[in-house]
Amino acid sequence: MLSSRHENASNILNPEIINPGITGLPIMLIGMSDETARIVLTTTGSAGSASRIAQVLVERRLAACVNLLPNLTSVYRWQGVVETAAETLLLIKTSAAELPALETALRELHSYEVPEFLVLPIESGSRLYLEWLHGSLGS
What is the domain partition of the chain in residue ranges? 40-122
Taking residues 94-113, report their average pLDDT: 96
Pairing type for strands 65-78 and 32-33 reads unpaired
CA 78, CA 22: separation in Å to the nearest integer? Answer: 46
Helix axes 99-109, 47-59, angle to 10 degrees: 140
In the chain, what percentage of residues exceed pLDDT 70? 76
Look up the pTM and report it. 0.77
Given a contact cutoff of 8 angstroms between Cβ atoms, the answer to whether 67 and 91 are in contact is yes
C-alpha distances in Å from residue 91, one per residue of 47, 56, 57, 116, 117: 13, 14, 12, 12, 11
pLDDT at 103: 98
Neighbours of 13 (CB within 10 A): 10
Exposure of 90 in the CB half-sphere (CA atoms within 13 A):
33
Q: Judge whether residue 113 has pLDDT over 90.
A: yes
34 or 121, greater pLDDT? 121
CA 28, CA 129: separation in Å to the nearest integer? Answer: 9
pLDDT at 32: 60
CA 95, CA 27: separation in Å to the nearest integer? Answer: 23
pLDDT at 49: 97
The predicted-structure confidence for 15-68, as pLDDT tens digits, reads as follows 333 344 444 545 444 456 678 999 999 999 999 999 999 999 999 999 999 999
Which range among 17-26, 39-48, 89-98, 123-132 shows the weakest confidence by mean pLDDT?
17-26
pLDDT at 34: 76
CA 22, CA 115: separation in Å to the nearest integer? Answer: 40
Tell me which CATH code domain 40-122 carries.
Answer: 3.30.70.120
